[in-house]
Structure 1
Amino acid sequence: MPRSSHKYTAVDRDDQELSNEGNITANSPEEDLELPTNPPEYDNDRAAEFERSMEHFEIIDPFLAENSVESSKVERLKLKFQRYIVVPVRERITDPLAVVMAIISRKFDYYLSKLGNPLILRRFVYVLFVSCFIYYITSSGLLPNGTATGSRGMFSDHQQLMTYAKRALDMSKMENDLEFISSMSHMAGTKGDMAIAQYIEEAFNNNGLRIVGDAAFDTYLNYPGNATINVQSSSGKVLELNLTGQNFNPLSVEGEALNAKLAYAHLGTQQDFDLLNQNGFAGENTVLLMRYDLYPGEQVKRAQDRGYKGVIFVSDGYGEEQIDSVQQASVQNFRTSMGDPLSPGWSSASNRRLPLADSSIVPKIPTIPISRRQGEDLQKLLAESQGLQFDDGWYSGAADGVTVNFMLKPIERQEHTSWSIIGKVEGREQDDKAIILSAARDSACTGCTYPNYGTATLLSLVQLFQQAKYKFGWKPLRNIYFISFDGSEYGHAGATEFLESDASKIGEEVYAVIDISQLGIDPSGPKLDIQTHPLLFEFFNGDNSMMEFEKNVRQVQQYGDWSAYSTNGIPVAILSAPHILERKYPIYTCDDTFELFSKKMDSESWERSSDLTLYVLQTCLKLIDSPMIPFDVEKYATSLIALLDDLKEKSGEMGLSFRYLAAELGAWKRIGERVNSWVRTWENMVLIENEGLEPSLLSVSRWAFNRRLTSIEKYHCAAQGLPNRSFYKNVLFGPTAKYQDSPGSWSFPGIRDAIVDGDKPRAQNQIIIAANLLQQSSALFLDNSQEV
């Protein structure tokens, strides 16, 4: 085929236009075709013209424009991260792991198919796994909610709670509470009492406490009425005392003594009365002038037993500012019973009411308190005839030295309402068990030092408990009742009636009572007197709190709102400042005001007050929120063995047999050793090795163990009570019928009463009763305890 003679030339614009118009000349097939040796060349001028003919658009990225250098660095970093981390992790870990998971999933489905539908079973296993994971996160305190849980494992972290409480405690609020409560007189059942009761109830409500039931009780109450004291000496001097409404002892009865002899009897002890008898002062038609002792009711009881017609109490007061103050102490007597004077031993809600003359709580002779100045005026008349001189330098007076006309007519209310305020914090675990934190409220006058300081502390503790609840979502393991008791100066009616209103439920639920009525800042330093049950001796002695107090821990030897609970087998603890325990001035006087209290309080005193409040908080936390209720059975048995030795010594030559009783106490000591061993094992297993996580079966065993611990003292109560004193049921701990001041006098009361009376058969019978109850309780404890 002939080749064309034309060479291949570049296509110019005109050629292109001609081509577009269809005027294209085809090469002859005969012509030879040759490929160009180089790519076609374009005319530069025309290329530039073409480029100028194009419209260019610029897209401007402000960020890249301003950060071009940084952008390039970021891009290089992303590429490196992708190349050296993402790709290798995907190739070496993620993809192989996905393959392994796929293999495991197929195997898992294969085995599940042998049990049932794999889809349903897979969902069930997934839900179970998620539930276990959530439970672990929640119980271990790892939940990432931004707030500390205040817990360690399944239990509270008390150190963390106390650290928060120390920061949150508001002493200015406590000061304001104390100022308001002390702003008015509030004898039980009065308008002032109602106003303060409403204030406390409002405080409970504002802090989220659940108010429990109706704690208003109708009991016997009396109030100041008419009183006169006129005296005349043998020399013809006449003295008429100016008496007011402050010259009144709560529960003193109506009575008079005309032309009676007047004698000074110091403290009215047995020795004092023996000395008076030796100097011609028998009880016939004689009125006694006495100083207050710790138990005025006991003083009056001894006087009336000896036939005296009345008692005039001289108030404390050693300076000119105090010399006209009158102490209005109650003269209630608790040898045989307590509570409402007209329904002692049973609820006042029943129709059974005693005549006032038959009440053992109310004295049978009238009493009137006077000031120190008035007492000194009477002593001047007695000193004229001198008579017997006592250790304090005062004279009894001669038998025919001074005569007195003495009359008292109080205002009486056979059934009058008083109000105890009861709030409750629910437990999260054993809500069938609880403790009571209580403070008395009523006072003959303003009562700032006692009992209002304890009440203000109670309100501060309520606030701290609720702040911990809101801060950490915290709840104690067991319940706690916060109670402001009314009627404490009238037979401790409020506390006793609360128990008697539902004795079976309260007796079963409550396992400890902590009373803080006698709290205060002792002038001599950070001292704290703790009267408690032997089951709690080690708890208070071994306390390693953040607050340093000089503590005196001893057995309960005082009547109070707690007595009804103690006699029904509920361990109690009374936290007191020594000077309040001794009822030092200005207690019981109208001088006990917030203004006087504030003068004695400096910054150091308020700091100690803060420590005291935190100490009570820590005590309550350990009692209601420790997994194991901190009762020391071994120490309990050891204390009883020591008290038995004292009892043997007091029995003298009566020839009583204590062998059976000693054997049962020895058995309880061995039980205590095993109990402590079990507790140590549990603590090591759960708190140390497992960091607070407790297996469910072990939890059930611990709950049952706690129930047995709280029943120990209840086993030692006789249903029929002590001989001639059915109100007192506890055969191991409680007051004796006769006044005794030995350290062990509040133990084995039935046996000690019989020894004092010289009644050997009754004493031996009481020994047998106590031994039998100890034997039965040990058998019940062990029969229900496979762990111990």
Structure 2
Amino acid sequence: MRLGHNRYNRIPDDDNQTAVATDDDTHINIPIHNEFDDIQFNENADTNITETMNDANNNNNNITTDLPDTTSPIVPSLPRNPPIYQSHSFINNYPRNENRLFEGSSSTMEQMSVEEPILNQKTTIREKLILARDSFTEAVIIPFKQKIYYPVTLIFTILSERLNYYLGKIGNPFILKRFFYIVLMTVILYLIRSSGLLYTHHAYAIRGMFSEQSILVKYMQTTVDFNKFERDLEYLSSMQHMTGTKGDMALVNYIQQSFSNNGLKLLKENTYSTYSTYPNINDTFLRAVSDDGKTIMDFDLTIDNFQSMSINGELSKTPILYGYKGRYQDLAALQDSNIISQDQDYMLLLEYDDDILVSEQILMAQKFNSKAVIFISNEINGDKDIIKLRSVSFPQFSMGDPLTPGWHGDTNPLIFANESLALQSILTLPISFNDGEKLLSHLSKDNINFENNKYSGKIGDLYIDLKINNTIRERHPTFDIIGKIEGKEQSDKAVAIVAGRNSISFGAQYPNMGTSALLTIVELMQRVHFEYNWKPLRNIYFISFGGDEFNYAGATELLEERLKPFKDEVYSIIDISQIGFDSNVLSVQTHPLLKNLFQNLNDRDLHIDISHVKQYGNWIPFMANGIPVSVLSNPNVLKRKGYIDTSKDTFENLHELLVKDENRKILQNIFTFIFDTILRLSDDPVIPFDITNYANTLSELLHDLEKQYSGRLNFDSVIKGLLSWKSIGVDSQQWFMTWSNIVLAHNGGLEPSLLSVNRWTWNRKYSNIGRRQCIPEGIPNRPFYKNVLLGSSFWQSSDKMEDHWSFPGVRDAINENDFEKAQRQLDIAGESLQSSAALFIEETNDVGFK
């Protein structure tokens, strides 16, 4: 056996030299024979050991130790002397047996029995965990490292070296590797987010590059806050809020704060000056007098005896006649019976009618030379003292400020009030059903008996003294509040969700219901935004219009101020002012381009009644300039039934109905319908305009004229234009099917960039359809209305035609029996259809309306 080198066994430089080991404590020199012959070393081992031990004993006897006293209290048990060692000779002389073992010993080792300590529970669990860890390491970690990790690391190292080698030929490999890493991670992240593999709320609500609208709608249905809707409605209805009053200012601040709290961007408050009238009972009176001037009845007038936009004036001892609904046939019957004549001064007692415009009743009275009109309100729920408060402006001529018809503000000089066609020239006053009955009781019953079994009376039966002394402000502010959700793709295109705000009285059912719905929709949109990080593809505007009772001044002045940018950006208006909750019927008046959209959205819980627009409102200025509009209405609100337009249209009269479960369910369905409509219009990749349905609807509207006047009018120009649009409709459907097949069916919503540019071009083309079917000069005698295809004819109570809201210039001429003018207007409509179709085909970018 060979010994290694250390400080105890040093190999001498020659064979005769002895290695010495030194013990630093005892200073004992122990010679070690470093023999190269292992056999000789073993034979001399016993002799060497014996000599060494003898020398050790001798040395121990010579060692003097100064041990401490054992009696010392510090170390009481320490022995005075060390133990005595047995000499090596004793061991050698001890008797051994034949196996060279000491006598009395056994060939086997005696087993030692040791009692193991009792392990507590904590130690046992810890040991089990350690054992499990070690087992897992041996069974999984180590094999994984050996078979997977180390080989992969090796491969990666080789690849990295090769990559560095090639990158080094281009430039600095460290810089290039970082750049390559950033590009690679960006691509991977984009693919993951686009594919929806990253499972988050956001990814769950997208399909490729577009939204999963059904998921957004389902989430919206679970988050409708009826309590907030009720609080909004209660506050909005807690005060009267005519345009420009303190109540209106309070509502403006409330709506503006609500928009701001929901995070709408580009919040604006637009102020416009307009002609305004307010009630004033001082020196306003109505008296019934006899032929000799004696007072028969003196009516107690209140602020409810008021109609906005009515003029001031006074009439004394003027005969009064009953004219039923004031239609042409009603007043013509009075004239044919010689009860009235063109040179006879008189005033009319008329009844409100849900199917006839108040303005048309007044216009007809003016046409038959009446000096004033007193309107009898219908009884409501047995209340015969209630009074309907309706505006008497003339939207047939123009809308907005009557002193600046067709232009904004001070761009042109103001005209005088008596020169404005939008203001009546005769006095008007509303009274209750009871007061009307009092007047009727003094009229004779031997003249015309109308359909309701009431008689017209005759001149001389009763005379009236009437004076109107309203407060008039020729320049008074009206306010529009505008909020915006910015689109993420085509930010130059937008839809607008609008609602009127002002009312002569409290206006709980109308228009406050619509304003509360507007605030609710804003909140729902923002909740979806925060939950799913959702943004529409195109902009969404939310607008609260002022000036409803002043000929819709807020909407009109906004459009007149920003006509070109508004027409360039906004391709659809949705008005929700007239929604309600007492019926599951929802009336949808819409542009023919959007008819198919609402048919596809028809909800099984709502009965959707779809037609083209047949009503005046805040949407008319936009429609008159070719912007497609949609009006969502409750049928009762549309007809202004119930307490609408009265002082009893209060929150208290609605609250009991509002808390009913079935009515809340109707409201939720309406909110869902509105929300879904907004999503489709603003977030569908392709603007959902159906050109084929548009052309077919216009053909149906034209048929109303053809079947009556085919022998007197030539419709070839219009038919040619409609055929062009039907052809475009086929092409647009084919393009959309191709796009859907590529992007949605095969690519999972991932759209190639070239297709995106193509789709944006189609969207711009769609948004220009309506605006290109307008003429700058407008229709004859009504230049405010520039849309030659869709709009109201001047007279709507005429029995000559079934429809009054299409081809307005043509229908106006027919009502005047001027068929030469009607043919010119028909040709203009045909040229408009043909030229707009040609531009649609040629257009590759947004060239705008020239």
Report the TM-score, using the length of structure 2 for normalisation. Answer: 0.83
8 A Cα contact 1:514 1:573, kept in partner? yes
Structure 2 CA distance for partners of 1:668 and 1:18, relative to 1, 3 Å: farther
8 A Cα contact 2:268 2:481, kept in partner? no
8 A Cα contact 1:628 1:702, kept in partner? yes
* Range moving further from structure 2, 629-638 or 231-240: 231-240
Shift of 1:69: 4.7
Partner AA of 1:288 in structure 2 = L
* 2:284 counterpart SS class: strand
8 A Cα contact 1:218 1:349, kept in partner? no
* 1:512 counterpart SS class: strand
Alignment partner of 1:434 is 2:494 = yes
* 2:578 counterpart SS class: coil
Structure 2 CA distance for partners of 1:271 and 1:94, relative to 1, 3 Å: same
Q: What is the distance in 2 between the residues matched to 1:111 and 1:766?
A: 76
Q: Deviations over 1:440-496 (max 9, x none)?
A: 111111111111111111111111122222222222211111111111111100000
8 A Cα contact 1:420 1:494, kept in partner? yes
Structure 2 CA distance for partners of 1:113 and 1:7, relative to 1, 3 Å: closer
Alignment partner of 1:445 is 2:505 = yes
Partner AA of 2:597 in structure 1 = F
8 A Cα contact 2:602 2:608, kept in partner? no
Counterpart for residue 546 of structure 2: 486
Q: Deviations over 1:243-290 (max 9, x none)?
A: 111101101111233222211111111111121112323252111111
Q: Deviations over 1:580-600 (max 9, x none)?
A: 111112111101111111133
Q: What is the distance in 2 between the residues matched to 1:434 and 1:5?
A: 108
* 1:414 counterpart SS class: strand
* 1:420 counterpart SS class: strand
Q: What is the distance in 2 between the residues matched to 1:112 and 1:233?
A: 111
8 A Cα contact 1:634 1:672, kept in partner? yes
Shift of 1:148: 6.4
1:337 to 398, 407, 417: 398
Considering only CA atoms, is the larger Rg found in Structure 1 or Structure 2?
2
Counterpart for residue 424 of structure 1: 484
Partner AA of 1:542 in structure 2 = N
Counterpart for residue 315 of structure 1: 377
Alignment partner of 1:190 is 2:249 = no
1:700 to 729, 752, 757: 757
Q: What is the distance in 1 between the residues matched to 2:44 and 2:418?
A: 156
8 A Cα contact 1:252 1:363, kept in partner? yes
Counterpart for residue 136 of structure 1: 191
Q: What is the distance in 1 between the residues matched to 2:62 and 2:701?
A: 135
8 A Cα contact 1:496 1:561, kept in partner? yes
Q: What is the distance in 1 between the residues matched to 2:301 and 2:238?
A: 24
Alignment partner of 1:575 is 2:635 = no
Structure 2 CA distance for partners of 1:39 and 1:657, relative to 1, 3 Å: farther
Q: What is the distance in 1 between the residues matched to 2:130 and 2:836?
A: 82
Structure 2 CA distance for partners of 1:171 and 1:349, relative to 1, 3 Å: farther
What is the alpha-carbon root mean square deviation over aligned residues?
A: 3.3
Shift of 1:161: 1.9
* Range moving further from structure 2, 78-87 or 584-593: 78-87
Shift of 1:672: 0.9
Alignment partner of 1:263 is 2:321 = yes
Query: How many pairs were matched up?
Result: 758
Alignment partner of 1:473 is 2:528 = no
Counterpart for residue 648 of structure 2: 591
Q: What is the distance in 1 between the residues matched to 2:478 and 2:526?
A: 27
Partner AA of 2:363 in structure 1 = K
Partner AA of 1:777 in structure 2 = S
Structure 2 CA distance for partners of 1:636 and 1:205, relative to 1, 3 Å: same
8 A Cα contact 1:10 1:41, kept in partner? no
* Range moving further from structure 2, 69-78 or 343-352: 69-78
Q: What is the distance in 2 between the residues matched to 1:37 and 1:730?
A: 134
* 2:616 counterpart SS class: coil
Counterpart for residue 790 of structure 2: 733
Counterpart for residue 12 of structure 2: none
8 A Cα contact 1:477 1:627, kept in partner? yes
Counterpart for residue 212 of structure 2: 157
Partner AA of 1:646 in structure 2 = D
Partner AA of 1:474 in structure 2 = W
Counterpart for residue 274 of structure 2: 219
Counterpart for residue 431 of structure 2: 370
* Range moving further from structure 2, 274-283 or 234-243: 234-243
Q: What is the distance in 1 between the residues matched to 2:623 and 2:100?
A: 118
8 A Cα contact 1:223 1:412, kept in partner? yes
* 2:742 counterpart SS class: helix
Q: What is the distance in 1 between the residues matched to 2:103 and 2:52?
A: 9
Partner AA of 1:357 in structure 2 = N
* Range moving further from structure 2, 191-200 or 69-78: 69-78
Counterpart for residue 32 of structure 1: none
Q: What is the distance in 1 between the residues matched to 2:837 and 2:381?
A: 57
Shift of 1:211: 4.9
Alignment partner of 1:395 is 2:458 = no
Report the TM-score, using the length of structure 1 for normalisation. Answer: 0.89
Q: What is the distance in 2 between the residues matched to 1:538 and 1:323?
A: 44
2:725 to 668, 684, 692: 668
* 1:399 counterpart SS class: coil
Shift of 1:70: 4.4
Q: What is the distance in 1 between the residues matched to 2:585 and 2:257?
A: 32
Shift of 1:660: 2.4
Shift of 1:632: 0.8
Q: Deviations over 1:397-452 (max 9, x none)?
A: 12332222222121110101121211111111111111111111111111111111
Counterpart for residue 596 of structure 2: 538
Q: What is the distance in 2 between the residues matched to 1:137 and 1:21?
A: 89
Counterpart for residue 199 of structure 1: 254
Structure 2 CA distance for partners of 1:246 and 1:112, relative to 1, 3 Å: same
Counterpart for residue 735 of structure 2: 678
Counterpart for residue 608 of structure 2: 551
Partner AA of 2:731 in structure 1 = R
Partner AA of 2:643 in structure 1 = P
Structure 2 CA distance for partners of 1:424 and 1:6, relative to 1, 3 Å: closer
Counterpart for residue 415 of structure 2: 354
Structure 1 residue runs of 5 or longer lacking an equivalent are 28-35, 45-50, 52-59
Q: What is the distance in 1 between the residues matched to 2:736 and 2:607?
A: 28
Q: What is the distance in 2 between the residues matched to 1:95 and 1:635?
A: 67
Partner AA of 1:373 in structure 2 = N
Q: What is the distance in 2 between the residues matched to 1:370 and 1:203?
A: 38
Partner AA of 2:240 in structure 1 = S
2:224 to 151, 163, 169: 169
Partner AA of 1:308 in structure 2 = S
Q: What is the distance in 1 between the residues matched to 2:45 and 2:323?
A: 162
Q: What is the distance in 2 between the residues matched to 1:37 and 1:363?
A: 148
Q: Deviations over 1:496-527 (max 9, x none)?
A: 001111111111111111111111123xx311
Shift of 1:766: 2.1
2:690 to 619, 626, 632: 632
* 2:470 counterpart SS class: strand
